[in-house]
Amino acid sequence: MDNPVAVIQYGPRPGILDLGWGHPRPELLPVEQWLEAGQTTLREHAWQALTYGAAAGPRPFIEWLTDHLGGCDHGSTQPSEVFVTNGASHGLALVADLLVRPGDVVLVDSPTYHLAFRTLLDQGAELVGVPTDDQGVHPAMTAELLERLARSGRRVPMLYIVPTFANPTGRCLPHERRVELVDLARRAGLTIVEDDTYREMAYDGPAPPSLWSLAERGTVIRLGTFAKTVAPGLRLGWINAEGGFVRRLTGLGYINSGGGVNHTTALTMATFGRSGAYQSHVAATGRHYAAQRDALVAGLRTCAPDLQLSAPAGGWFLWADLPSPITASSLAPVAEAHGVAYVEGRRFFADGADGHRAVRLSFSMLPPGELQEAAARLGLALETVRQRAPGRPEPAHDPHRGG
């Protein structure tokens, strides 16, 4: 077999149960089902599956997707409101490229998906965290922040947020806040870029309506992806936006030159969806991910009872507050020495000034037994740090973590 590091982004580290990565459990990736969908697609569409594709994406995919979104979200999405991308990260890069100018302020949720920061910084934006409380973004205080920024002459074209089964907290923004936020954005001329990556990873009942479904057209752009529901290697996702914005995307030079993004994969996804394989796969993997969540939560409640956490109703992440005065950076090397790793909470704040006592724990990659063992190791690491003599300097620690 090839060296996995030369083929894939991340290979396991010997001896470490890694709760840092928001990646799928390898055994749950649908290798055989995708192979079958690929063969059916090539037989059905023949050469058309392999030539340059339609600018916004192939029609069979867009039609399946809009039907599907009608079932898993409220309200309807029109085919003219879809643009196929290489995933949510690509969607964010494209949207930011069209909306943001160097020197603009981009508002981001606090905390939010840390790997979105680089994409936004690539546009020369200054990132400012929105005011939040324990329910998430606070619309009235965000309105005040927008007024202050406007008074100081700053342009604020967009707000980035993951309101549903968020990365990193696993939480959902409450319905009233969704309505207030969308209303604020409409009044302020602010575009909300809603990253809806985890909508279909719902374990305890349906996900709340998206901001996209609640808003007037032109206020929200939604980013979707099949990275979590099917496989990240597909690099397949989409943007939902009003027709005019989709036309700006289809008019981009590189689309004009190379045709629609990821044409063959999008056609295969249409086959995978229409055959029912997608729905069965999401249902089956959802049961596994729910069991993994339960194993990690139960393990932590038993082995690390002074961690403060609540079980998320969906997604892949759990956010936990460490007992005072332990910080995520002081615990990290001790946790590694005990064979468990996580991402420090401060990485999910645009200015890194908050989240020092929080950690993000992902339950997506490991089976339940290993998650219970990881929880036990974390409990031992906490105990070790607690017993450390006060005043001892904390070792510097900042491992890169993705997903």
Ligand X SMILES: Cc1ncc(COP(=O)(O)O)c(C=O)c1O
* DSSP annotation string for 238-261: EEE--HHHHHHHHTSHHHHHH-ST
Taking the complex as a whole, the smallest distance from the CB of residue 386 to ligand X amounts, in Å, to 32
Taking the complex as a whole, the smallest distance from the CB of residue 11 to ligand X amounts, in Å, to 17
Answer for the pair 231, 262: CB distance below 8 angstroms, yes or no. Answer: no
Q: From residue 18, how far is each of 328, 338, 366, 402 by CA, in Å? A: 15, 11, 8, 11
Answer for the pair 93, 326: CB distance below 8 angstroms, yes or no. Answer: no
Q: Which is nearer to ligand X, 184 or 239 (CB)?
A: 239
Report helix angle 243-250 to 88-99, nearest 10.
100
Q: Which is nearer to ligand X, 81 or 196 (CB)?
A: 196
Q: Which is nearer to ligand X, 53 or 91 (CB)?
A: 91
CB atoms within 10 A of CB 394: 13
Taking the complex as a whole, the smallest distance from the CB of residue 120 to ligand X amounts, in Å, to 12
Q: Which is nearer to ligand X, 94 or 320 (CB)?
A: 94
Question: For the sheet containing 82-85, what is the strand order?
Answer: 82-85, 237-240, 220-225, 191-195, 158-161, 105-108, 126-129
Taking the complex as a whole, the smallest distance from the CB of residue 210 to ligand X amounts, in Å, to 14
Category of 301 on φ-ψ map: left (φ > 0), alpha (ψ -120 to 50) or beta: alpha
Cα(17)–Cα(19) distance, integer angstroms: 6
Q: Which is nearer to ligand X, 23 or 377 (CB)?
A: 23
Q: Residue 102: CB partners within 8 Å, gap ≥ 6?
A: 123, 124, 125
Taking the complex as a whole, the smallest distance from the CB of residue 267 to ligand X amounts, in Å, to 18
Q: Which is nearer to ligand X, 315 or 339 (CB)?
A: 315
Residue nearest to ligand X (CB): 87
Taking the complex as a whole, the smallest distance from the CB of residue 235 to ligand X amounts, in Å, to 7
Question: For the sheet containing 358-362, what is the strand order?
Answer: 308-309, 317-321, 358-362, 343-344
Cα(70)–Cα(183) distance, integer angstroms: 23
> Which residue, chain included where needed, has tokens 């890169």?
400
Q: Which is nearer to ligand X, 245 or 317 (CB)?
A: 317
Taking the complex as a whole, the smallest distance from the CB of residue 348 to ligand X amounts, in Å, to 10
Taking the complex as a whole, the smallest distance from the CB of residue 187 to ligand X amounts, in Å, to 26
Q: Which is nearer to ligand X, 178 or 377 (CB)?
A: 178
Q: Which residues bind ligand X (CB under 6 A)?
A: 22, 87-89, 113, 162, 167, 195, 197, 225, 227, 232, 237, 403
> Which residue, chain included where needed, has tokens 């009608």?
70
